[in-house]
Every structure is written in C-alpha cells, then in structure tokens.
Amino acid sequence: MSIETLVPQANQSSTPFNKESFDEAVMSTYGRFPIALEKGAGCRLWDTEGKEYLDFVAGIATCTLGHAHPALIEAVTQQIQKIHHVSNLYYIPEQGELARWIVNNSCADRAFFCNSGAEANEAAIKLARKYAHTVLEIDKPIILTANASFHGRTLATITATGQPKYQKNFNPLVPGFHYVRYNDIDALEAAISELDEGDYAVGAILLEPLQGEGGVRPGDIKYFQKLRSICDQTGILLIFDEVQVGMGRTGKMWGYQHLGVEPDVFTSAKGLGGGIPIGAMMAKKFCDVFQPGEHASTFGGNPFACAIALTVCHTLENENILENVHHRGEQLRSGLLHIGAKYSDCIAEVRGWGLINGMELQTDIDLSAIDVVKAAMKEGLLLVPAGTKVVRFVPPLIVTEAQVDEALQIVDKVISTLNN
C-alpha cells in the first residue's frame, strides 16, 4: 500500500478558506502563492479547493519522509501521550538518544539542540567567537562567509548571509563578518592575510557544502580540501552549514561527505525533524568551549521534537532511503539535462547532488524562475526558486521513480509553453 492511499484524496474543505481574513491577521512577511494547502500524503498535497499537487518543495527541503508517513504518525502519537516538554534543567532521554545517533553517524562528538537552522547557525557563531577569544586569543575575531550564501533570518545570520537583499534596511548589522567568493581559494587566502591586522584576525570560516538559496551550487572538492588544510595549519575553525543539505538530502547523510573533508562544527535543521521544528549544532570535542549558562534554548531538544527527529533518523536507515535518494537524484538530473538540451536557448545549466537540484535559466531571456514555478503550479507540480534564475527541485526523499517521471513531463510541458 502506498503512503498516498493512507489519506483521503479529497476534497472540499469543511471550512472554506478565507484569504482576506488571513491577510488581515497575519503579517505580510512572505510573498505567498495563491493556494492554501490542507492535506498531504507521501509526495502529494491537496489544497482547500481539492486540487492535487506533486510536491517537489517538501517544505523547502524539510519534509524528509513526505507527508503523513506512518512512522511519524506513530511517533507523534506515542510521544505526545508520554511527555512533550519539560526543560533542559533536567536530563531528557530522547535528547540523549538523538545526540548519540548523530554522533555515531557523523564526524561530531557532541550536539546542542535548538529549534531552527537560524538558531543552529547562531549557536555556531557564538561558539566560534568564544573559541577565537579563549583558544586562538583573537581580540576581534572575524568569520569569513561566502557571497550568495544563506544562513538564516536573525540579525547575526543575515549578516553572515552574503546577499545584500536580505540585509536591506536592517542595519546596523552585526560586526565581525567578511565575504569571499565561493569556491575561490585565492580570494579566501587573500582575505585571511588582509584581515590579519592589529587586534583583528579570522577565527572561523562558515560555508555551505552546497549553496542552496544561492542557486544550488555544489562545493568544489579541491577548494574544500585546500580549505581544510588551511584551517589545520592556522587553527581557524571550519564550520559547515548543513541546514539544507544534511540528513540524506544529497544522497549521503551529510553534505561534507561529498567533499572528502570533515568540518570542526556543522549545523542541521530542516530535514532533521521531517517537518517538526528542530535545529542542531554539532562540534568536535576540542572546540566545544561552551559552559553552563553561556548558551541555551527553552524549547531546544524537547522530548517531542527529539523523538520525532530520532524516528526520521531510524527510518532513513531502516528503509534504505539514501539509496533511493541516489537513484532518484540521478534520474531527475538526467531528465533535466535532457530537457536542458532540448531547450538550450532557455536553460543554461542543471546541477546538484542527490535530491537537491537546480535548473538555471539563461540570463539573456526574460523568463525567471518564478515564472516557471507559477506555470508548474498550474499543472499540479510544486517547485521553488533559488534566486531569480534558478528553479530548485527538492522533493521528499521517498519520491518514487514514477513521480520523478511525472514531474519531468510537467517541466517539459511548462518550458515548451513558456519558451514559445
């Protein structure tokens, strides 16, 4: 029995959705598409009008196991009947189990839990600053990040984000960040040298193994291996933002495994909870410099979120989902490359790892990523932009061969129509 059969594929909502009422009460912080989603099963979603969609957004790379997965339904039901929140004043067994699983399945020694990717990156920034002050003895530490990066929406993480559009009107920004070109080792080495002056010096480097919001741009292996060597020689902390690419999204458990290096610190969120809010910062023992009271989160690591995340982790293992990610990713890229060759005047490049892939449109045409996303939505396929010219494909990791073929057929139809 497929997951899709577990949820009714109907139908009209018993309470009609009122867009005007919504807009009156909710702040306008999002540019929302004009549909309201209310039901889901597997890789399918239904809106309040009963229209069905194939979901290749997955909550923006978050719904690891799709919608209404039986393992998550069982875990949610059992845990809410047991205990859902206490406080980090006490030991939380579920938190310890999740931390142990992550440690056993990564290069990390210890984990800190919070509620989102932005919070996880905030924790990494604070850890890096304390490490720079107390271990590297840098009075004014600088963290290098990349142009076109994305690390979150808090004040520190939008400062770390190397995209001015996210920073506009939020100045003064947090000091202590400097941006370099992604995958450019000469630019990075020059920055380290130039910033080493007086009380200032580079204390950490924060990068995505694959830039997600920046256009689905994979890291270069030689660049990251050289970067690891530089950090080993200088003592600079190497931090990876795995919020979007971690937890099997790339076909490996962690994005850094594609690059042949290990970070000192890395962060996770999105796919970790399969759609339930949770974030985590992982670190090797030598740089775990936090002491009690120096960082915390009221809801972070609560029994409910940790039990669900642990279920996601075990399901990835027990159902051999990483193999599916590898095969479906190859299928998706192959199909997109075929479409790209067919419409080469419209499509410039296809790139990605596993089930995070980007289709970049030609820069000299009027067509934008949002145009493709809107046209696909009308055909029953949900996609998401990654910048103005890149269409992102991030389906649930349980997506089937038939569903990938279905998505490719819709993309072909959409590009054909828009290209005429």
The catalytic residues are 150, 241, 270
Can you tell me the distance from the alpha carbon of 185 to that of 205, in angstroms, rounded to the nearest whole number?
A: 12
Structure tokens at 384: 């998401």
